[in-house]
Amino acid sequence: MLPLNILYQDEHLVAVHKPSGLLVHRSALARGEKEFLLQRLRDQIGKRVYPVHRLDRPTSGVMVFGLSSEAAALLSEAFSERQVEKRYLAVVRGKAPEQERLDYPLREEDGTRPKAEMPAMPAMTDIRRLDSVELPVQVDRYPVARYSLVEARPLTGRRHQIRRHLSQRGYPIIGDAKHGKSVHNRFFAEQLHSPRLLLAATYLAFDHPVIDKRIQLSCALDDTMSALFEQLGWVGHLPLDSVRTPPIAMPTVLQR
């Protein structure tokens, strides 16, 4: 098993590229699974790690953990208060809008009771079409198949928010077994060698909870998504692993 790709580490935090298909930690969804991101990361760096936020099992990309419960609690609060900037890349069916804010309330999907009994919570996602492609193949009922590369910026943190919002808007993410369309998922898996959910967390930016600096993390795509981007002519949109730590901007004090 290959080591996890560590994107950033200091004495308080560690950020890692979570592979698609790997659960973050043990849960009711585990069903006999033996490999979890939290345990693998702990064993790799030889330190206990504390989760701060979540990514769905099939989603890949950047995740940050605290190296102490105190640092994790502070950063988790920043996530809860929407002080963290998040960006995702998604491959969707159809030609997505050039730019739009998706403002659809969502009911929680935590499995504790039927979704219909859960209250609808406010949820907003900004989306932007970065590129699109038209393939001369009949996948569904049309003689050509159109797909888009979308950047999604969730402004709230509901479960499966990006997947559900894009599906409700009519542009489901390829590889989404629950909210997508199986005929397109099959086409990408069998003909384009992309059997995974095509959603990746590519960027996180937040104020460090202990040190006076801002952390900006960019995360490259895995081999499957990178190869797909090459096939579709989207190489110019491939993100790279990078870390920037500009100082936190202080408010200007006006002199009387």
Contact indicator for 107, 78 with CB cutoff of 8 Å: no
Q: Which residues, 6 or more positions from 152, have their beta carbon under 8 angstroms from its beta carbon?
A: 87, 88, 89, 90, 125, 126, 127, 162, 165, 166
Q: How is residue 246 annotated by DSSP? A: P
Q: Is 56 a catalytic residue?
A: yes
DSSP-derived pairing of the beta strands 199-207 and 60-66? parallel
**190 in the Ramachandran plot: left (φ > 0), alpha (ψ -120 to 50) or beta?**
alpha
Name the CA dihedral angle for 9, 85, 36, 185, rounded to a multiple of 10 degrees: -140
Residues 64 and 217: their CA atoms lie apart, in Å, by: 10
Q: Which residues, 6 or more positions from 244, have their beta carbon under 8 angstroms from its beta carbon?
A: 215, 216
Contact indicator for 202, 89 with CB cutoff of 8 Å: yes
Residues 217 and 13: their CA atoms lie apart, in Å, by: 12
Q: Which of 56, 110, 207, 223 is catalytic?
A: 56
Q: Which residues are catalytic?
A: 56
